[in-house]
Amino acid sequence: MNFLAHLYLSGNNPKVKIGNFIGDFVKGKNLNERFDADIAKGIALHREIDWFTDTHAVVKQSKERLRPKYRHYSGVIVDIFYDHFLAKNWDKFSNQSLPDFAEECYATIQNHEMILPEDVRYMMPYMIKGNWLVNYSKLEGIQRALSGMARRTRFESKMEESVVDLEKNYENFKMEFEDFFPGLINNSEKWIKSHA
């Protein structure tokens, strides 16, 4: 899952939210020695979400559709596609509007700027200016996100071309997201409760 889903699945604790948000940018173990307990919990939750997603049969189905062209980048692309479906169908998952949720998240992240990894600090002005979390709901927003990621990859990924595949197989990807996401919500809520 990508930024929107990780933030959404964090619950109400701002520090857990920050940890979950920066999870991809933090390597290694000993999280409790390196971070505040709730930030460490958020990073661990991020890893749990990634594990659940990467091992799920329905997600594998989505990836297989893309694998012939995009190889190991298919997982990254599916994460973005699923964030699109979350943003597009936000009202089914939250009583708070997506723009309000996004504003709240940006403010929370900016309030914790001192602990953000350097790459996240560099990325944030672009994220806020482009309002990524809200714009994931539009195909142009997904296109921008994938094109940006393609520019940052070391090898040719062709990720910038993948919106064509999303349009071509839109209903299949949507059904797979709808099949998968409630289970991920349930798993994340259980994990948070068991680590209270």
Tell me the pTM. 0.95
Q: Total structural domains in the chain?
A: 1
Q: Please write the tens of the pLDDT for every residue from 19-73.
A: 999 999 999 988 888 899 999 999 999 999 999 999 999 999 999 999 999 999 9
Residue 148 has what pLDDT? Answer: 83
Residue 120 has what pLDDT? Answer: 94
Task: Write down the residue that tokens 């749990």 correspond to.
Answer: 48
Q: Please write the tens of the pLDDT for every residue from 114-152.
A: 999 999 999 999 999 999 999 999 999 999 988 888 887
The two structure tokens encoding residue 113:
């700027």
> CA nearest 35: which of 50, 23, 52?
23
Does residue 79 contact residue 59 with C-beta atoms inside 8 Å?
Answer: no
What phi and psi, each to the nearest 5 degrees, are found at residue 49?
-60, -45
What phi and psi, each to the nearest 5 degrees, are found at residue 82?
-65, -35
Does residue 3 contact residue 21 with C-beta atoms inside 8 Å?
Answer: yes
Mean pLDDT of 168-187: 98
Q: Which domain holds residue 137?
A: 3-194
Maximal CA-CA distance, the chain = 47
